[in-house]
Structure 1
Amino acid sequence: MKVDAVILVGGQGTRLRPLTLFAPKPMLPTAGVPFLEHMLSRIREAGIVHVVLGTSYKASVFSDYFGDGSRLGLDIEYVVETEALGTGGGIRNVADKLRYDTVMVFNGDVVSGVDLCALYATHVANNADVTLHLVKVADPRAFGCVATGAKGEVLEFLEKTEDPPTNQINAGCYVFKREVLLAIPPDRVVSVERETFPNLLKAGAPVFGYVEESYWLDLGTPAAFVKGSADLVRGFAPTAALPGPVGDSLILPGAHVAKTALVFGGTTLGRDVTVGDEAVVEESVVFEGAQIDTGARVVRSIVGAGATIGAGAHVCDAVIGDRALIGAGCELRAGIRVWPGVEIPASGIRFSA
């Protein structure tokens, strides 16, 4: 497919701190590999080879890991955004790297099951200036909605409202004609959602939606990150980059799980993780070198690299930073976040938000 893929990965991932203090959000271990690798695997499956990463925050982490992309069968280039330019500005900022007349743009923090070939075919069939991937959701109130007509033409972009007239939301994936992308003003902040797309509609340009109901999840929050990783492990979300078979857990080489421990619910255990006797790890992501001691329970949580969850401790819906120590018998629940290196003594204190 002669299409450029542009992936916007410049955000600081503040909603996922402290995990993103040392790594960009798309590079966090997700179902065994950096999340971005799952997205790249889907792009390669669709027959797209040339990828441009629009980076900013900790930009070198991407190039250090992926290099020129040849390991993945891709040709990857990088553009660093020195100051925040918004979604439209970020897209325009990579224009010099484009090779083809059609550009597929992705937000770098979305797990999606969209058929990229069908999305492209819809764009071509309609001779569209822009085609948006739109997904139907059960509760669209937290999202901007996009209304479409009988032929899929976009009629209106709607802000968040308590009574949305449609359940179709912008899924963060677009197909542009290159000439339309080049018309975005350079070197300034531009929002495609609030400026580029509405202006195209006002000008009568052909803007279409590709509407479907496949898997879709924005990984922006800890709860969504955990769910997305678990869904990739269990095969609910598509990927060609899972480093192991689909199943109830993914245990990477070097990890050790005691015979009496339970690890399930789509949990990923990173390399050299240790899970002790009678411990339970459910629907969680445990980064490399972490230790879950005897009788501890970790549920819907993220445990950072080298962190320790002490004997009998309970960690539920929490984020534990790298090298943190949660003492024996502690209980952390309801959105608690422990910063890297912090030690909570084995005092039996219970923490809740």
Structure 2
Amino acid sequence: MKACIMCGGTGTRLRPLTFKHPKPSIPILNKPSVRHLIEHLSREGFNEIVMTLGYMGERIEEQLGDGHMFGVHIDYVYEKEKMGTAGGVKNAEEYLKNEPFIVLGGDHVLNLDLREMYRFHETNDAIVTIGLLSIDDPREFGIADMDINNQIHRFLEKPKSGQIFSNLASTGIYICDPEIFDWIPENKKYDFAKDLFPALQAADKRINGMLVRGKWTDVGSSAAYRQAQRWMLDALPGTTIEGNFTTRNARIRGPLSIGNNVSIGSNSSLVGPIVIGENTVIGDSVLIGPYSVIGANCT
């Protein structure tokens, strides 16, 4: 199965973190967030991936390579100028035109059943299926009015308070038929939510929605970034230690993920969930509480 990951944004709301990193490369549990996404796609069976790159895109390509270490193959398409979400995917048409494909944002952190969503789309006759979540405040997202047969009749991007007609928010995850490329103009800035979906509905083309289950966020703000770190720490399966580890009379209660060559001093106390990067030294009489992430080479 094929996937397209959009990585063209500059991440202005995450500055100063994005002065040195593209948004998909901001670390979560000491790994670039997009690496978590690639690993999840691989587990779900999406092994042909194309990434549309913009701001500092070469950094992303350096971190991921051709994808073989994740069990996938990755191609890269660089945007010379911002073309919008749909316009960016249009630039990758040559890699995606032969079968249905999933579209995601490079800043997405999730544990959703994407294979289920793909299979749902295959058994229906919509040109696109949108992943939807029920949330309390949908003003920062696109919202959809969906009927009992999963057909979307209205879609509105980032509604104001008086415009909210649904609490079903778009995750920005779409399963698209290749026919979608016929509806995206070439060499024009074009967005899925603002341009493409209204055009499809005006032409009576069916758009479906699917209620997805699980955790999802786009790391577009500092609050979302902290939320993503927190629930991924909650998901730590237990305590894992890689390579050399030394401690002297420390009190440790997991779950923890400890990198190679970590040292914890005497009379220190660690209460998980905690992640500690490699080559890090924790001194004597140090207290580290839950939901902490310490990078590599720290003292």
Band of TM-score, shorter chain = 0.7 to 0.9
Name the amino acid aligned to 2:216: W
CA contact (8 A) 2:233 2:291 kept: no
Structure having the higher helix fraction is: 2
Distance 1:51 1:165, change over 3 A: same
1:55-204 superposed matches below 5 A: 55-98=53-96, 100-158=98-156, 159-162=158-161, 164-204=164-204
- Between 1 and 2, higher relative CO (CA 8 Å, sep ≥ 6) is seen in 2
Q: For 2:139 and 2:183, how far apart are their aligned partners in 1?
A: 31
| Count of equivalent residues | 283
1:34 aligned partner = 32
Distance 1:187 1:259, change over 3 A: farther
Q: Which moved more, 1:258-267 or 1:167-176?
A: 258-267
Q: For 1:75 and 1:192, how far apart are their aligned partners in 2?
A: 25
CA contact (8 A) 2:241 2:260 kept: no
CA contact (8 A) 2:142 2:169 kept: yes
Deviation at 1:173, TM superposition (A): 0.5
Q: For 1:226 and 1:273, how far apart are their aligned partners in 2?
A: 22
Name the amino acid aligned to 1:30: I
Structure 1 unmatched runs, 5+:
292-353
Q: Identity rate of aligned residues, in percent? A: 28
Deviation at 1:114, TM superposition (A): 2.0
Deviation at 1:92, TM superposition (A): 0.9
Q: For 2:104 and 2:269, how far apart are their aligned partners in 1?
A: 37
Q: For 2:277 and 2:154, how far apart are their aligned partners in 1?
A: 45
2:19 aligned partner = 21
Deviation at 1:69, TM superposition (A): 1.0
2:50 aligned partner = 52
Deviation at 1:191, TM superposition (A): 1.1
Q: For 2:181 and 2:270, how far apart are their aligned partners in 1?
A: 47
1:190-243 deviation line (CA, Å, top 9, x unaligned): 11101101110111101000113421122122232232123223218x9xxx99
What is the aligned-residue RMSD (CA, Å)?
Answer: 2.3
Answer yes or no: is 1:233 the counterpart of 2:233.
yes
Q: For 2:169 and 2:27, how far apart are their aligned partners in 1?
A: 27
2:218 aligned partner = 218
CA contact (8 A) 1:234 1:249 kept: no
CA contact (8 A) 1:260 1:279 kept: no
Name the amino acid aligned to 1:133: G
CA contact (8 A) 1:254 1:272 kept: yes
Deviation at 1:162, TM superposition (A): 1.9
SS of match in other structure, 1:205: coil
Q: For 1:191 and 1:55, how far apart are their aligned partners in 2?
A: 16
CA contact (8 A) 1:52 1:77 kept: yes
Distance 1:129 1:44, change over 3 A: same
CA contact (8 A) 1:226 1:285 kept: no
Q: For 1:190 and 1:99, how far apart are their aligned partners in 2?
A: 18
Name the amino acid aligned to 1:101: E
1:140-173 deviation line (CA, Å, top 9, x unaligned): 2333211101101011112423252211101011
TM-score by length of 1: 0.74
Name the amino acid aligned to 2:292: S
2:250 aligned partner = none
1:302 aligned partner = none
CA contact (8 A) 1:95 1:182 kept: no
